[in-house]
Amino acid sequence: MFRSVLFLCVCWLYSAPMHAQSFWFGVKGGMAMNNQSWGSGSASLGINRSALFTMNGDIFAETLDEDKKGALYAQLGYHTRGSALRYFSVLSDFRSNVKYKFNNIVLELGAKKSLDLIPGMNAYFILGVRGEYTVGSNLDAITRTNIGELVSPDYIRNLNYGVTFGGGFEKEVSELSNVFIEFSIQPDLSFQYEQFPIDNIRNPWIPNERVDLPLTQVRNLSIEAKVGIKFLRKVIYLD
């Protein structure tokens, strides 16, 4: 079912603007700094969280905004969400940085507004909504470590949603192509991971000790910086 929805989204991404005369299409990609809030009463999972840096990319289409009144855009991309956990065992003096990775297909719809800030460059801001589907993670690998009992792939929520806001600067290269740099903040409104309370779990930091895990709810927050190029599909009417 997901493949069918993904196929329809791709078709819509490229076909919808064609009925609105001229439009832009292109690609963008770059670096993301990913963080997660682990809402849990267990200090072992909530503390010592650090950012996870990943690469991501999108294909997109947007309406032509000749009058600077605003444009609509749609984009489809591959993004890795997650965080890293640095922990320390007092008895074994062992340090590690475990990375939690969730690989998501992201569909985003939004609006874009131009701003007259810098001569010769088109500054703009964006506001959008996102729907995400998790196609894979590395939690299976994490469960083979000594902290594996604290997380499980069974509690991943595959469907998530959130908002995007940010802006960028665009430069004209030719009549039919522009390049740009874009920055955005992408908080999730849903939970990427939700684990219900579990009793009597082995404590990976203190041998021979058992602990109870409370409700654990995880939200994603990503800060992205991208560069991209877009091309104009220009429709000219002849009398």
Q: What kind of fold does domain 2-233 have according to CATH?
A: Porin (2.40.160)
Could you tell me which residue, 140 or 95, shows the higher pLDDT?
140
Q: What does the pLDDT look like over 94-115, one tens digit per residue? A: 556 788 999 999 999 999 999 9
Mean pLDDT of the chain: 83
User: Quick one: average pLDDT of 1-7?
Assistant: 50
pLDDT for the residue 71: 95
CB of 133 closer than 8 Å to CB of 2: yes
Q: Which residues lie closer than 8 Å to 22 by C-beta, 6 or more apart?
A: 64, 232, 233, 234, 235
What whole-number distance in Å separates Cα of residue 137 and Cα of residue 80?
9
pLDDT for the residue 239: 57
User: Quick one: average pLDDT of 133-162?
Assistant: 83
pLDDT for the residue 5: 47
CB of 116 closer than 8 Å to CB of 170: no
Q: What does the pLDDT look like over 47-97, one tens digit per residue? A: 668 899 999 999 999 999 888 889 999 999 999 999 987 765 555 545 567
pLDDT for the residue 93: 47
pLDDT for the residue 1: 47
Identity (one letter) of the amino acid at 200?
A: N
Residues in the chain: 239
User: Quick one: average pLDDT of 108-130?
Assistant: 92
What whole-number distance in Å separates Cα of residue 159 and Cα of residue 116?
38
Could you tell me which residue, 140 or 230, shows the higher pLDDT?
230
pLDDT for the residue 130: 98
Residue 185 clears pLDDT 80, i.e. is over it: yes
pLDDT bracket for residue 120 (50, 70, 90): confident
User: Quick one: average pLDDT of 154-160?
Assistant: 95
Residue 43 clears pLDDT 60, i.e. is over it: no
CB of 226 closer than 8 Å to CB of 60: no
Closest CA to 226 of 163, 164, 172, 177: 164
The ranges assigned to domains in the chain are 2-233
